[in-house]
Amino acid sequence: MAVPIMLKDNKVISMICSHRAAIIVAVVTILCLVPFVNKAFHIDDPLFLWTAKQIRTNPADFYGFSVNWYWTDMPMSEVAKNPPGTCYYIAAAASLFGWSEAAIHTAFLIPAVAAALGTYYLAKRFCPRPALAALAAVLTPGFLVSSTNIMCDTMMLAFWVWAVCLWVRGLDENKYSSLFFAAVLVALCALTKYFGMALLPLLLVYSLMKKRKIGLWLLFFLVPMVILAGYQWVTHNLYGRGLLTDAAAYATELRAIQKLTSLTKGLTGLLFAGGCIATVFFYSPLLWSRRTLMCGLALTIIFIIVLSFVKKIGIAPIRNDNGVRWSFLIQTGLMAAGGVGILALAGADFFKFKNADSLLLILWVFGTFIFAAFINWTVNARSILPMAPAVGILLMRRVDGYGVGTTQRTITWQAAWPLVPAAVLALLVCWADYTWANTARTAAADIQKTFKNSSHTVWFEGHWGFQYYMEVAGFKAIDYKNLKIARDDIIIIPYNNTNTKAFPKEMVYLDKVFQFNLCRKITTSNEQMGAGFYSEVLGPLPYVFGQVEPERYFAFTAR
């Protein structure tokens, strides 16, 4: 029996060795995310949780309930602007492990690892350093912070990269089974987040460039198209309108209301790209010649100086009582340089190779950028995230194009060292978002403890994770179309939140302020500092370094 056992052990060892790089990528991804598994539910997480709970009771009518998300009760089908794919995953995970933060976040390690591994196996086809390409995508603020939430973005990315990976393999090897599974993943990607539909034109153009003629591969595009048409038909029957077109109309309407110039949109898009995929900035010495770097530095300095003469970027003022906000402008300049570097990286790769692979990568990057900056209802990190795998691959293609090092050991170190500062930055941003998210849970607990013996109703404004924990505590969201606030009722208003309105002083008086410390030197959401990781509405930068004030929740009493 010793020989078979030994052979079996040798096969296991051989398999581990052959996939060692992939295992490293998976382990690094898990190690970066595990410290945040107890993160409070945050931003739009409650929308996905509530839908998952609805699915548990009525899986065929996923949006068949109402929610107060915009100051009054509305059908969830009008509030939700994402498909329910992620919600079904949450419902399945909760049925096995429960609804706690740790349980749900742990379940979401799976799509994060899947996205990382998908990037690795796709990169094996495009560049000689697939592990570093995958880590360059993972160790970014955009990827890590998005993966510490339970929204649809990382799961969509996992479906996206595996769809591309299988489609490329199917075309290379003429394997119809790979093309079929890729087509199914395209549909799942789009049913996880509507941006997944962008895979259809991306893969179509790539295929035409690759094959130079129409073939049977074209028929596989019918699979996602039929599935999405069925989703449109089902949601129209359930909710009176197809939710695919409804989401597009929502983005168009809000963009029209905001009335932002194309210059402002483009600049904000560059800032978010450079800030959310900061690995490009740290890799700059390996990507460009010294002359190019010096020219870039000079242009960045000129850009910062020019910005010092304008009034504001988006909603963020350039000056305060102390004069020009130079720290903010320097961060703006560096992120803008990073964003330009990403687009230049994709452009340089295409003009160097001019083949189907380089076309796929440039369309992937530029398509995501155009959507995030000019089409989506707001610029945010979640919209930039889909380009991270393509940028990681482009980085390694460019590094090898310059022939870094002479020996394998030197090559590995010289190509890998920028990941160290990139990882530090990404984890700092994760920590800042983690501490901010947790204040909502702590605040709800403290408010419940403070007013548990009150005979009056406790109302609250604000949404996101704060609404989730306040409703769990038994408090009521204010409905401005059906206002029922009585004398001596308590009204809680968070300072840093969405959809809040100030009451006139003659109607309320301030009773108590709840205050909680955050990460003191960096923030992902602060209108005064210009940070708006989840929406440019709060600021033109995804995160900002500076002195961060404590998070505050105000308790008013109705007169």
323 SS3 class: strand
Q: Are 429 and 543 in contact (CB under 8 A)?
A: yes
* Range with the poorest average pLDDT among 158-162, 188-192, 366-370, 537-541: 537-541
* Range with the poorest average pLDDT among 6-15, 209-218, 228-237, 423-432: 6-15
* Cα maximum dimension of the chain: 87
- Pair type for strands 458-460 and 476-477: parallel
Q: Are 438 and 39 in contact (CB under 8 A)?
A: yes
- Residue 95 one-letter amino acid: S
320 SS3 class: strand
Q: What angle do CA 383, 386, 388 make, to 5 degrees?
A: 115
**Whole-number pLDDT of residue 9:** 53
**Whole-number pLDDT of residue 128:** 86
pLDDT of 40 over the 80 cut: yes
**Whole-number pLDDT of residue 249:** 74
Q: What is the CA radius of gyration of the chain?
A: 25
What region does 503 belong to: left with phi over 0, alpha with psi -120 to 50, or beta?
A: beta
Contacts 24+ apart (CB under 8 A), 113-116: 113/26, 113/29, 113/30, 114/158, 114/162, 115/143, 115/147, 115/154, 115/157, 115/158, 115/161, 115/389, 116/25, 116/26, 116/28, 116/29
* Range with the poorest average pLDDT among 175-184, 252-261, 313-322, 381-390: 252-261
Give the residue among 483, 491, 545, 494 at the shortest CA–CA distance from 516. 494
Residue with tokens 């360059």: 136
- Residue 89 one-letter amino acid: Y
Q: What is the mean pLDDT of residues 187-199?
A: 96
Please give the DSSP secondary-structure letter assigned to residue 40.
P
Bridge partners of 493, per DSSP, are 554
How many H-runs (helices) and E-runs (strands) does the chain carry? 24, 15
**Whole-number pLDDT of residue 262:** 80
Average pLDDT, the chain: 90
| 409-455 pLDDT tens trace | 334 678 899 999 999 999 999 999 999 999 999 999 999 999 988 88
Bridge partners of 319, per DSSP, are 324
216 SS3 class: helix
> Over the range 88-99, which residues count as b (16 or more CB within 10 Å of their CB) and which as e?
bbbbebbeeeee
Q: How far is residue 203's CA from residue 388's CA, in Å, rounded to a whole number?
A: 17
- Residue 151 one-letter amino acid: M
Give the residue among 526, 508, 528, 527 at the shortest CA–CA distance from 518. 526
pLDDT of 44 over the 80 cut: yes
191 SS3 class: coil
Cβ of 487: how many Cβ atoms within 10 Å?
A: 8
Percent of the chain's residues with pLDDT above 90: 74
**Whole-number pLDDT of residue 407:** 34
Q: What is the mean pLDDT of residues 541-553?
A: 94
Cβ of 27: how many Cβ atoms within 10 Å?
A: 12
Burial bucket for residue 374 (CB in 10 Å: 0-12, 13-18, 19+): middle
Q: What angle do CA 439, 443, 449 make, to 5 degrees?
A: 150
pLDDT of 403 over the 50 cut: no
The full DSSP string for 400-434 is HHTT--SSHHHHHHHHHTTHHHHHHHHHHHHHHHH
The full DSSP string for 272-286 is HHHHHTTHHHHHHHH
pLDDT of 14 over the 70 cut: no
20-33 vs 419-451: helix crossing angle, rounded to 10: 30
| 138-147 pLDDT tens trace | 999 999 999 9
509 SS3 class: strand
pLDDT of 540 over the 70 cut: yes
**Whole-number pLDDT of residue 125:** 93
Q: What is the mean pLDDT of residues 174-179?
A: 94
Considering 107-116, 260-269, 529-538, the range whose residues carry the highest mean pLDDT is 107-116
**Whole-number pLDDT of residue 320:** 85
Burial bucket for residue 3 (CB in 10 Å: 0-12, 13-18, 19+): exposed
**Whole-number pLDDT of residue 5:** 52
* Range with the poorest average pLDDT among 101-110, 396-405, 456-465: 396-405
Q: How far is residue 345's CA from residue 338's CA, in Å, rounded to a whole number?
A: 10
Give the residue among 131, 344, 361, 85 at the shortest CA–CA distance from 227. 85
pLDDT of 476 over the 70 cut: yes
**Whole-number pLDDT of residue 315:** 83
Q: Measure Cα distances from 122 to 33, 74, 116, 351 in Å.
A: 22, 42, 10, 21
pLDDT of 350 over the 90 cut: yes
What's the predicted TM-score (pTM) here?
Answer: 0.92
Q: Which contiguous run of DSSP H or E holds residue 492?
A: strand 490-494
Give the residue among 155, 129, 131, 126 at the shortest CA–CA distance from 143. 155
**Whole-number pLDDT of residue 12:** 47
Considering 147-151, 374-378, 478-482, the range whose residues carry the highest mean pLDDT is 147-151
pLDDT of 335 over the 50 cut: yes
Q: Which contiguous run of DSSP H or E holds residue 250?
A: helix 243-258
Percent of the chain's residues with pLDDT above 70: 93
Q: How far apart are the first and last CA of the chain?
A: 84
* Range with the poorest average pLDDT among 176-190, 276-290, 403-417: 403-417
130-138 vs 20-33: helix crossing angle, rounded to 10: 10
| 89-139 pLDDT tens trace | 999 999 999 999 999 999 999 999 999 999 999 999 999 899 999 999 999
